[in-house]
Amino acid sequence: MTFYLFDRSFYIASDVLLAYITVILSGAAIFYLITKADKWPTIKKYVTTTHHRKIGVLYLLSATLFFIRAGIEALIIRVQLAVPENDWWVFQGDKFNEAFTTHGTIMIFFVAMPLLIGLMNVAVPLQIGARDMAFPYMNAVSFWLFLAGAILVNMSFFMTASPNAGWTAYAPLSISTYTPEAGNDYYVFGLQVSGIGTILAAINMIVTIVRHRAPGMKLTRMPLFPWSTLITSFLILIAFPVLTIALYILMFDRMFGTQFFTGEAGSPIYWQHLFWIFGHPEVYIIILPAFGIFSDIISTFSKKRVFGYTSMVIAITIIGLLGFMVWVHHMFTVGLGPLVNTVFAITTMLIAVPTGIKIFNWLFTMRKGLIQLTTPMLFSLGFIPTFVVGGVTGVMLSVAAADMQYHDSYFVVAHFHYTMIGGTVLGAFAGIYYWFPKMFGIKLKETLGKWHFWLFVIGFHITFFPMHLAGLNGMPRRVYTYLPKDDVFIYNFVSTIGAFLMGLGTLAFIWNIYQSFKNPDYTGNDPWDGRTLEWAVPSPAPEHPFQPMPLVKTIDPLWEAKRNRGGKLPEAESARSAPIDVTSWQPIGLAGMMMVFSLAFIYHQTWLQIIAGIGVLSFFVIRNLTDEHVRVAREEENE
Ligand code: HEM
Ligand SMILES: [Cu+2]
């Protein structure tokens, strides 16, 4: 759309204009509602908090918002592809490239990751009897850095500079020769800033799990969600620095004229290696925690201890290790030679073994169990067959010779949505329904939960099953249209209908949250007749849980206590000390400054770079001068 002001013309694309209007109007509405309900003090509490439950809620809330944004993009993609030779609105050509790039990038980094890290924050400390995360302040820093990165990537659209080289940002397309606009700089800085937050979160999880378990809770008595969190955190700790390095190098190629990925000595294949050495572990980073969630939920609602506990732990560990040895399965068509392809085909196929073990363990956990079809359990049951389909197509793709056909086709798109939606997203929904009482003291409505489940899962299969067939019929991914004679119309049309059903399912979820707060069902400590420690503390979880500190003697201590000791957990003699909780504006300040710093680089503003750089460093200095241990010690002296 073109506007005229004082003889000058301004062009704003109509989709961007619509986004501006939507954001301004909904922003004003939210501002009004908050003021009317007098909620600014609550917001301040959340913004300055270092408490694990509140930070968990912040992660989940942001993830939900980004899910809506990237979900709308998915619907746009589906509408554009509904019929052949479609020229609907503006989403052809480069706009389409931008749509699938930001859809993929946001879904992976700013939806899947924070959904899981959010649930870890809410549940893991309580499940292991810790009083908070080991480093509460750093936890807040992690969250705000994640959000700063996410805002950077989301902002690009409003600056009409969306990343457009795919979520994989393959060189040479992603270097400035081919994409000189700011879009891929937003990608680089957004992922870099949020990646630092993720690495810090992983360190925090590892230390919390290793150092802050309740007395008696040996690693062999730890529930499976904390176990999968521990393994996942190690994967993050190893894989994310590879992404950090890759992004740095890409930044140098884009901004400072180096030639790592082009030219005489450089090669675009280097980017593919670096990206997938990070990228494959990344897909396990977003699936293993979901496995943990399903294990705990299936055990709770089958009223049985999880079958094959030890083999579950070993399987997660092996999947984690193998995850680092398979990255070349994304590069079978590059031409690395038959030997390399064979080795990586075999390691990839091996992963099916521990995954299969887990599937059978879940089935055996349910066998002869007293199964309760609550909403979290339904999501877990929906996961098993869906994920098996994703696993089977994964094994098909791992056959290097066959992958020459499958590669970059819609078959791949179907495969990874079966694993990521069938695994991660269903897992996150299951976890949200399951732990919602621990977050807010109320349950989500079961009837609406069932609507959510059925619409979403049926919609999912209608959307993604036909994509396998479109892919086998030769439809490549990342294309904005096709011809009638390509014979893929019917698959695409059905797929688009399914996508809208998923959208309806998501609306049911949001409506459910609204209804549940409006007519709350208050629940006690233990709404699901749970087995693990989090159900022994009040809902919502208080600032100082576990007084007195329990002594753990089995895998499901609360269940054991309910059977044999009238529900009272044995008490430990000496409690673990609680981390010092503070409230602070520093984490959000630091993250905000990082954002300014990044923008200064994206728009090449040297002075702003210097000032914002000093700003970032000064937060480190301030932090050093405000040691809360000293403050607390002084307060205790004065008492
Ligand atoms: C909610 C319903 C969803 C629908 C209808 C949907 C649809 C699509 C479609 C049609 C594509 C292919 C675009 C193309 O190649 O031209 C795509 C790509 C992608 N989707 Fe989704 N998606 C959904 C949810 C998700 C979720 C939850 C995730 C991850 C957690 C995800 C991750 C991705 C990724 C990584 C890509 C690849 C982007 C690229 O090629 O760079 N999607 N999606
Ligand atoms: Cu992979």
Residue owning the nearest CA to atom 38 of ligand 1: 104
- Higher per-residue pLDDT: 3 or 148: 148
Q: What is the mean pLDDT of residues 19-37?
A: 91
Using CA atoms, how far apart are residues 295 and 309, in angstroms rounded to an integer? Answer: 9
The helix/strand/coil state of 158 is: helix
Residue 384: predicted pLDDT: 96
pLDDT above 80 for 631: no
Distance of CA 535 to the CA centre of its chain: 25
pLDDT above 70 for 630: no
Roughly what angle, to the nearest 10 degrees, separates helices 183-211 and 94-105? Answer: 10
Grade residue 575 by pLDDT with cuts at 50, 70 and 90: low
- Reading the block at residue 442, the tokens are 């109320």
Residues in contact with 90: Cβ distance below 8 Å, sequence separation at least 6, in sequence order: 13, 14, 15
pLDDT above 80 for 367: yes
For 606, other C-beta atoms within 10 Å of its C-beta total 9
Grade residue 264 by pLDDT with cuts at 50, 70 and 90: confident
Using CA atoms, how far apart are residues 190 and 586, in angstroms rounded to an integer? Answer: 20
- Higher per-residue pLDDT: 335 or 145: 145
pLDDT tens digits, 600-629: 999 999 999 999 999 999 998 988 887 776
**Which amino acid belongs to residue 254?**
R
Least confident of 109-113, 191-195, 253-257, 341-345: 253-257
Nearest to 463 by CA among 506, 508, 504, 417: 417
Grade residue 519 by pLDDT with cuts at 50, 70 and 90: very high
Residue 636: predicted pLDDT: 62
pLDDT above 70 for 635: no
Q: Which residues pair with 550 in a beta bridge?
A: 571
Q: What is the mean pLDDT of residues 148-167?
A: 93
CB 235 within 8 Å of CB 323: yes
Residue 549: predicted pLDDT: 87
Residue 524: predicted pLDDT: 86
Residue 8: predicted pLDDT: 75
Q: What is the mean pLDDT of residues 514-525?
A: 91
Using CA atoms, how far apart are residues 192 and 516, in angstroms rounded to an integer? Answer: 37
Residue owning the nearest CA to atom 39 of ligand 1: 166
Using CA atoms, how far apart are residues 385 and 381, in angstroms rounded to an integer? Answer: 8
- Assign residue 169 a region (left: φ > 0; alpha: ψ between -120 and 50; beta: otherwise): left
pLDDT above 80 for 515: yes
Grade residue 364 by pLDDT with cuts at 50, 70 and 90: very high
pLDDT above 80 for 637: no
Determine how β-strand 2-5 pairs with β-strand 8-11.
antiparallel
Q: Give the ligand 1 atom nearest the CA of 463.
A: 5
CB 567 within 8 Å of CB 586: no
Q: Give the ligand 1 atom nearest the CA of 480.
A: 16
Q: What is the mean pLDDT of residues 566-590?
A: 82
For 160, other C-beta atoms within 10 Å of its C-beta total 15
Residue 481: predicted pLDDT: 94
Residues in contact with 132: Cβ distance below 8 Å, sequence separation at least 6, in sequence order: 50, 51, 52, 125, 578, 579, 581
- Higher per-residue pLDDT: 14 or 470: 470
Using CA atoms, how far apart are residues 190 and 202, in angstroms rounded to an integer? Answer: 18
Using CA atoms, how far apart are residues 598 and 592, in angstroms rounded to an integer? Answer: 10
Residue 372: predicted pLDDT: 93
For 368, other C-beta atoms within 10 Å of its C-beta total 9
Backbone angles phi, psi at 352, to 5 degrees: -60, -25
Grade residue 376 by pLDDT with cuts at 50, 70 and 90: very high
Question: In testing the pocket of ligand 1, which one of 100, 284, 410, 494 has its CB within 8 Å of the most ligand atoms?
Answer: 100
**Nearest ligand to the C-alpha atom of residue 111:** 1
**Nearest ligand to the C-alpha atom of residue 275:** 2
Ligand 2 mean position to 470 CA, how many Å?
Answer: 22
Residue 639: predicted pLDDT: 57
Ligand 1 mean position to 266 CA, how many Å?
Answer: 31
Question: In testing the pocket of ligand 1, which one of 191, 286, 413, 429 has its CB within 8 Å of the most ligand atoms?
Answer: 413
Torsion on CA atoms 456, 457, 462, 466, rounded to nearest 10: 120
- Reading the block at residue 451, the tokens are 């609507």
**Nearest ligand to the C-alpha atom of residue 324:** 2
Torsion on CA atoms 75, 76, 77, 81, rounded to nearest 10: 100
DSSP E strands: which ranges in 169-309? Answer: none
Residue 123: predicted pLDDT: 95
Using CA atoms, how far apart are residues 420 and 427, in angstroms rounded to an integer? Answer: 10
- Assign residue 263 a region (left: φ > 0; alpha: ψ between -120 and 50; beta: otherwise): left
Ligand 1 mean position to 74 CA, how many Å?
Answer: 6
Residue 89: predicted pLDDT: 86
Look at the pTM and tell me if it is higher than 0.75: yes
Q: Give the ligand 1 atom nearest the CA of 499.
A: 5
Residue 527: predicted pLDDT: 92
Ligand 2 mean position to 218 CA, how many Å?
Answer: 33
Residue owning the nearest CA to atom 29 of ligand 1: 107
Q: Give the ligand 1 atom nearest the CA of 166.
A: 41
Residues in contact with 290: Cβ distance below 8 Å, sequence separation at least 6, in sequence order: 116, 383, 423, 424, 426, 427, 428, 431
CB 87 within 8 Å of CB 487: no
Ligand 1 mean position to 100 CA, how many Å?
Answer: 7
For 544, other C-beta atoms within 10 Å of its C-beta total 11
Residue 350: predicted pLDDT: 94
DSSP class per residue in 438-454: HHHSBPPPHHHHHHHHH
Ligand 2 mean position to 421 CA, how many Å?
Answer: 16
pLDDT tens digits, 92-145: 888 999 999 999 999 999 999 999 999 999 999 999 999 889 999 999 999 999
Residues in contact with 567: Cβ distance below 8 Å, sequence separation at least 6, in sequence order: 558, 561
**Nearest ligand to the C-alpha atom of residue 421:** 1
Using CA atoms, how far apart are residues 137 and 200, in angstroms rounded to an integer? Answer: 11
Q: Give the ligand 1 atom nearest the CA of 81.
A: 10
Q: What is the mean pLDDT of residues 305-330?
A: 94
Nearest to 194 by CA among 591, 618, 623: 591
**Nearest ligand to the C-alpha atom of residue 325:** 2
**DSSP assigned state of 488:** -
- Reading the block at residue 605, the tokens are 């503003």
User: Residues 278, 279, 285, 291: is their CA dihedral positive or negative?
Assistant: negative
Residue 625: predicted pLDDT: 84
Residue 629: predicted pLDDT: 66
Residue 227: predicted pLDDT: 96
Q: Give the ligand 1 atom nearest the CA of 111.
A: 30
pLDDT tens digits, 284-304: 999 999 999 999 999 999 999
Q: Which residues pair with 8 in a beta bridge?
A: 5
Work out the percent of the chain whose per-residue pLDDT is above 90: 78
Q: Ranked by mean pLDDT, which of 538-542, 572-576, 587-591 comes out on top?
A: 587-591
DSSP class per residue in 572-639: PSSPPPPPPP---SHHHHHHHHHHHHHHHHHTT-HHHHHHHHHHHHHHHHHHHH--HHHHHHHHHHH-
Residue 1: predicted pLDDT: 66
Helix (H), strand (E), coil (C) string for 516-549: HHHCCCECCCCCCCCCCHHHHCCCCCCCCCCCCC
The helix/strand/coil state of 397 is: helix
Residue 159: predicted pLDDT: 87
Grade residue 88 by pLDDT with cuts at 50, 70 and 90: confident
- Higher per-residue pLDDT: 390 or 563: 390
Backbone angles phi, psi at 576, to 5 degrees: -70, 140
**Nearest ligand to the C-alpha atom of residue 91:** 1
- Reading the block at residue 224, the tokens are 């499976």
Residue owning the nearest CA to atom 15 of ligand 1: 478
CA terminus-to-terminus distance, the chain: 67
Pocket of ligand 1 (CB under 6 A): 71, 74, 77-78, 100-101, 103-104, 107-108, 111-112, 166-168, 413, 417, 420-421, 424-425, 463, 477-478, 499, 502
Q: What is the mean pLDDT of residues 488-499?
A: 96
